[in-house]
Every structure is written in C-alpha cells, then in structure tokens.
Amino acid sequence: MSTHYEQIKQLILESEADVVKFYEKGNKSAGVRIRRSMQNVKTLAQELRKDVLDKR
C-alpha cells in the first residue's frame, strides 16, 4: 500500500482529539492544529493522486 495513504490515515487519526476539543469544547488552539493537519492531508492527497496517475 502507498506510504502517502498510510500517512494520510495517520494524520486523520492524530487529529481526532483536536476535532473533539474544537467542536465540543470550543478550543481555538485545537482549530489551528486541525487546519495545519488538514493542509498536510491535502498535500499528501495531491502526492498520492500524482503517484496513482504516474503508475497508470
């Protein structure tokens, strides 16, 4: 399996606690961490997409 895919899964799992803190407790710092993590997910998703196209 792709390392990009595994990294995306790991980032999502690591962000879960911050999502709970942000949405249930209103922690603004957690929102900053979520946005940073999602930007990394976006970058990895683009790399995964490129890799899939290259192998096709």
Closest CA to 30 of 38, 45, 48: 38
pLDDT tens digit sequence for 27-54: 999 999 999 999 999 999 999 999 999 9
Place of tokens 């196209």: 53
Q: State the average pLDDT for the chain.
A: 94
The predicted pLDDT at position 48 comes to: 94
What lies within 8 Å, CB to CB, of 23 at 6+ separation is none
Tell how far CA 36 is from the center of its chain: 8
- pLDDT value at residue 56: 83
